[in-house]
């Protein structure tokens, strides 16, 4: 695609280059449908690569295969996050999926047109030289593949007295390694997968 502003057409836009976004793009490509995947991260797989070091998928490998290229038979039962990140990056390369990294759909300039039954979508992305490019697209579908929380950590409102407390309150998305907490006492709030991982 040409650089600079302008209006382009593409059949579909996928927001999010994680597991589901890439699997959808691969399926659409296999059906001869054009699709562009946009993701805010610098590299495909960074949504897994940049999280806490001990992170592994909590589902067995058989539940996480992608279309057309399953994980090798020697793959670990519970996939480490960094290993999955590298696989996703390779998946894009091998299947030649059209992915724009460091790109976002501008919600203020993206609107549905009921007259044409299409979306006018504006995408802003950072180019390799650090400059920003704005592109407008008229598309038939937008697929939101941004995960359960849409990539936005949800912290509860501060507790009474929290501002005077000299401790640290941190979301699991900001957790890097248990070594940071050696010799300290911590309370983990929440009993889902991240809560189990960080405790």
Residue among 48, 35, 32, 53 at smallest CA distance from 89: 48
Q: Which CATH class is domain 7-144?
A: alpha beta
Tell me the per-residue pLDDT of 25-39, one tens digit each, with 9 for 90 and over: 999 999 999 899 999
Q: Please check the confidence at residue 8 and state whether its pLDDT lies above 60.
A: no
Where does the chain hold its CATH 3.50.50.60 domain(s)?
7-144
d(CA 82, CA 88): 10
Q: Please check the confidence at residue 79 and state whether its pLDDT lies above 70.
A: yes
Lowest mean pLDDT among 11-20, 91-100, 104-113: 11-20
Distance of CA 154 to the CA centre of its chain: 16
Residue among 131, 122, 102, 128 at smallest CA distance from 44: 102
Q: What backbone phi and psi angles, to 5 degrees, belong to 80?
A: -65, 145
Tell me the per-residue pLDDT of 99-133, one tens digit each, with 9 for 90 and over: 999 999 999 999 999 999 999 999 999 999 999 99
Tokens of 81: 């996050």
Q: Please check the confidence at residue 174 and state whether its pLDDT lies above 80.
A: no
Q: What is the predicted pLDDT for the residue at 199? A: 66
| Band of pLDDT at residue 178, cut at 50, 70 and 90 | confident
Residue among 18, 26, 40 at smallest CA distance from 97: 26
């Amino acid at each position: 695609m040409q650089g600079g502003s302008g209006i382009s057409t593409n059949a579909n836009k996928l927001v999010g280059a994680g597991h589901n976004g890439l699997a959808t793009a691969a399926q659409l490509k296999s059906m001869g449908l054009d699709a562009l995947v946009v993701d805010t991260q610098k590299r495909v797989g960074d949504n897994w690569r940049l999280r806490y070091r001990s992170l592994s998928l909590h589902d067995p490998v058989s539940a996480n295969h992608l279309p057309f290229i399953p994980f090798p038979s020697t793959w670990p039962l519970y996939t480490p996050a960094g290993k999955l990140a590298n696989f996703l990056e390779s998946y894009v390369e091998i299947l030649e999926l059209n992915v724009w990294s460091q790109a976002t759909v501008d919600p203020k300039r993206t609107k549905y047109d009921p007259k044409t039954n299409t979306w006018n979508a504006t995408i802003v992305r950072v180019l390799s030289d650090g400059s920003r490019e704005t592109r407008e697209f008229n598309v038939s579908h937008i697929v939101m593949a941004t995960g359960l929380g849409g990539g936005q950590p949800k912290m509860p409102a501060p507790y009474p007295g929290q501002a005077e407390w000299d401790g640290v309150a941190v979301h699991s998305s900001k957790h890097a390694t248990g070594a940071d907490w050696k010799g300290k006492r911590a309370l983990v709030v929440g009993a889902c997968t991240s809560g189990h991982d960080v405790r």
